[in-house]
Amino acid sequence: MTRRLAALAGLAVSATVAFAVLAFIVIDRFDGPGPLQADTIIYIQPGISMGDIARSLETEGVIEDSLVFRLGVRLLRVSRELKAGEYLFPATVSMRGVVDILLSGKTVLRRLTLPEGASSIEAVALIEAAEALEGKLEAVPPEGSLLPETYLYQRGDKRADLVERMQLAMRKALAELWEKRDNTVPLNSPTEALILASIVEKETGVPEERAVVASVFVNRIRAGMRLQSDPTVVYGITKGAGPLGRPLTRDDLQTASDFNTYTNNGLPVGPIANPGRAAIEAVLNPALSDYLYFVASGSGGHAFAKTLDEHNSNVAKWRKLKKQAN
């Protein structure tokens, strides 16, 4: 009996030693550098088992041995805490490092930039083409309802949710900037500010000019003059579907449209683009000027004028430069 107990005890010790050696080997391989040659993004699908995660990581070359990975995860007792999602795994990341990343839930953040002055049709095209977003948009959002900026999203986010974020951002920005407006500016509502900002956004791509261009339109409103903005005529023709693709004609300027500020007094019926914060701020706090006119200067910006004679002179200079360039 004593010999049998001694033998059992010996087996138990041997088993313990063997387990300890196995655990040491597993931990050593678990903590050692992995085979990944370069930083790699891997998508761990929701709902898959820990075993499937391990096999997927091995297939993608993130880890060398799925069995060792599974044993290590079990030793750590975190098999049910690994989170699905899209992750960036750095080169030579250890299995323990992989586990830490999967436990963190810090998935890859993707970026989508909506440019200032993009129409809502153009915005939808960008959102539809964005990689890793899901779902289709049922309709084009109202013009001017989206705030141009860079938005972060994760794989699997819904396109409709991203549009809602863009619209919420615009509402917040417009409300905030409206509260900081110059009360002497002849705009009666945030909607009117949005409409004028969309015109300023399409008239100039030079940040330093926005407030001056805004002052021209504000001065024309105060003087009871028509805005006579070419981009409003273009929008009346294209409805934001894209560039006109040709110069405006005299007939275009006289074409009836709710957006044509050559034939209609005041602001058009709605925005002609999605303006950025800077354009909204410019119309709510325009530069102080006596300018009533502007035309392209030929150097990327605009030449501003207080009188029609001065403006006609600037137009003649621009036409001469344009002719020379051709």
Q: Are 222 and 186 in contact (CB under 8 A)?
A: yes
Question: What is the pLDDT, as a whole number, of residue 320?
Answer: 86
Last residue of a domain, one of 168, 192, 209: 168
pLDDT score at 23: 58
264 and 188 share a domain?
yes
Count of the separate structural domains present in the chain: 3
Q: Average pLDDT for residues 155-163, to the nearest whole number?
A: 96
Q: Can you give the pLDDT at residue 7?
A: 47
Distance, CA of 3 to CA of 10 (rounded, Å): 10
6 in any annotated domain? no
pLDDT at 139 over 80: yes
210 assigned to some structural domain: yes
Q: Are 290 and 282 in contact (CB under 8 A)?
A: no
Q: Are strands 302-305 and 85-89 parallel, antiparallel or unpaired?
A: unpaired
Average pLDDT over residues 40-60: 93
- 305 and 200, same domain (yes or no): yes
Average pLDDT estimate for 242-258: 93
Give residue for tokens 């709902």: 47
Residues 311 and 229 in one domain: yes
**Parent domain of 137:** 110-168
Task: Kindly tell me if the per-residue pLDDT of 261 is higher than 60.
Answer: yes
Closest CA to 268 of 199, 214, 211: 199
Model confidence at 239: pLDDT above 60: yes
Do the domain assignments include residue 188? yes
100 and 114 share one domain: no
Domain CATH number, residue 83: 3.30.1490.480
1-6 contacts at long range (C-beta below 8 A, 24 or more positions apart): none
Tell me the per-residue pLDDT of 9-47, one tens digit each, with 9 for 90 and over: 445 445 454 445 555 566 778 999 999 999 999 999 999
**Same domain (yes/no): 200, 283:** yes
CA distance 173 to 196: 15
Residues 6 or more apart whose CB falls under 8 angstroms from that of 27 comprise 72, 75
In whole angstroms, give the CA distance from residue 268 to residue 217.
13
Q: Where are the beta strands (DSSP E) in 137-256?
A: 150-153
Q: Are residues 136 and 231 in the same domain?
A: no
pLDDT digits (tens, 9 = 90+) for 287-314: 999 999 999 988 889 999 999 999 999 9
Contacts of residue 149, defined as CB under 8 A and 6 or more positions apart, other chains included, come to 113, 114, 169, 276, 277
Q: In the predicted model, what is the mean pLDDT of residues 65-72?
A: 93
If you average pLDDT over residues 38-67, what whole number do you get?
94
Report if residue 202 sits inside a domain.
yes
Q: Which of 74, 89, 104 is the last residue of a domain?
A: 104
Would you say residue 22 lies in a domain? no
The mean pLDDT value of the chain amounts to 91
pLDDT of 247 reads 92
Task: Give the pLDDT score at 324.
Answer: 79
Q: What is the pLDDT of residue 13?
A: 47
Cβ neighbourhood burial of 113 (10 Å; 0-12, 13-18, 19+): exposed
Phi and psi at residue 270, to the nearest 5°: -165, 175
In a domain, 13, yes or no: no
Q: Where residue 323 falls among pLDDT bands split at 50, 70, 90?
A: confident
